[in-house]
Structure 1
Amino acid sequence: MRPLFETVTDLAAGADIVRARRYGIVVVAEGRLVAVWMWPLPKLLAWPEVVPVGRRYHARGPRDRCRLYYNQPWRFPNYLALRYVVSAAGTSLATFRAALSVLDAIAQIKGSDALLCDIANSRISARLMARWGWQAHKPGRMHRNYIKRFYGKYPPIDWSWASHGAPTPP
């Protein structure tokens, strides 16, 4: 039986763990992968959604650090859902892009068909999402859903975030 919590710091070496676990947190700092924390439960709520802390929540966090929470839904095992992103004031675009690149690598390891997300931040434009390979999906009044489709054709991954360099393909 697997432990409830596991940590992967090298995606190539920990590919079997990543493939087996449904819920994780990608942690990137200063443009480099720190770890992928595997959790037994999905991300459902976040502190700012429960308590109205506003901008103070992001202002206090560690500088240039980003966490992406992802789930692999039981009903749709071929998809990964990007549930939540947490960053502090001062997080660089390079760190955020590295975190998204790690998520692409996880999708490739798992053989996922697509990534899905619901964007609540109005500062993230449809044009930016299109530039990064995401398409509008099931538009609605209250939600801006996006999908990044793979279906076996994964984008080349920029492995600059990996401290050990690019792994050999699986």
Structure 2
Amino acid sequence: MPLFETVQDLDRDAATVRRRYHGVIEARDGRLSSIRLRPWPSLITRLRVWQDTRRRATEARQDVCRLYYDQLWRQPNFLVLKYVVSSSGTSFATARAAALALDAIADLKRSDAIVCEASNARISERLLDRWGWQRHLLSSSRRHYIKRLYPNSRPLTSTGHDLTIFPAIAGPQLAENPSATPAI
């Protein structure tokens, strides 16, 4: 088994992704580009963040997003989203493609949850809530989030936002007046 591997098709290389613990998801132009599998966890330091900030300046116009993830050795049923790198040219579709690839990897590994710390204030709680993330470790001053995955754990419910379009209508009310329409 090589130390570093690159996967470009999750369906074809599912066994390889399932076996490896650490990786970098790269999405470009709204699509999954590759998953680089690594032999050790990602170490995020101030020097690393500074280097990525400098590199972002040169890649400012590129539509690319990289997600660094690790599977815990002691708790292999969890994935940790360690670090996200994007530029000002990154589109919403590209960021979403990278997030969906992380969900697909968690599904392949049959993970119970994905955890992260949202240290960037520009990542809103509303967006995370819409994508299935919930606030976790409320006693901490940091913004810890967890995405519980179903069917491996209990289904997700949004406590902060009602994401339904139409309110529920009771059956007898509609039967009495068939021309009644729900109020929005």
Smaller-chain TM-score range? Answer: 0.7 to 0.9
Map of 1:31-110 to 2, 5 A cutoff? 31-46=30-45, 49-50=46-47, 53=50, 56-61=54-59, 63-110=62-109
AA paired with 1:146?
Y
1:23-49 CA distances to partner (integer Å, 9 max, x unpaired)?
Answer: 000010001111100000101215xx2
Structure 2 residue aligned with 1:128 = 127
Establish whether residue 116 from structure 1 lines up as the match of residue 118 from structure 2.
no
What secondary structure does 2:106 align onto?
helix
Higher RCO (CA 8 Å, separation ≥ 6 residues)? 1
Return the TM-score normalized by structure 1. Answer: 0.82
> Does the CA contact (< 8 Å) of 1:112 and 1:151 recur in 2?
no
AA paired with 1:59?
A
Establish whether residue 15 from structure 1 lines up as the match of residue 14 from structure 2.
yes
CA deviation after TM superposition for structure 1 residue 82, in Å: 0.3
> Does the CA contact (< 8 Å) of 1:111 and 1:152 recur in 2?
no
Structure 2 residue aligned with 1:161 = none
CA deviation after TM superposition for structure 1 residue 58, in Å: 2.4
CA deviation after TM superposition for structure 1 residue 90, in Å: 0.8
- Please identify the structure whose Cα radius of gyration is greater: 2
Return the TM-score normalized by structure 2. Answer: 0.76
What secondary structure does 2:24 align onto?
strand
> Does the CA contact (< 8 Å) of 2:113 and 2:147 recur in 1?
yes
Structure 1 residue aligned with 2:163 = none
> Does the CA contact (< 8 Å) of 1:67 and 1:99 recur in 2?
yes
AA paired with 1:67?
R
What secondary structure does 1:148 align onto?
strand
- Percent identity, aligned pairs only? 50
What secondary structure does 1:97 align onto?
helix
> Does the CA contact (< 8 Å) of 2:27 and 2:94 recur in 1?
yes
Distance 1:147 1:91, change over 3 A: same
What secondary structure does 2:126 align onto?
helix
What secondary structure does 1:42 align onto?
coil
AA paired with 1:58?
R
AA paired with 2:35?
V
**How far apart, CA to CA, are the structure 2 residues paired with 1:94 and 1:29?**
9
> Does the CA contact (< 8 Å) of 1:60 and 1:88 recur in 2?
no
CA deviation after TM superposition for structure 1 residue 50, in Å: 1.9
**How far apart, CA to CA, are the structure 2 residues paired with 1:66 and 1:104?**
15
> Does the CA contact (< 8 Å) of 2:111 and 2:152 recur in 1?
no
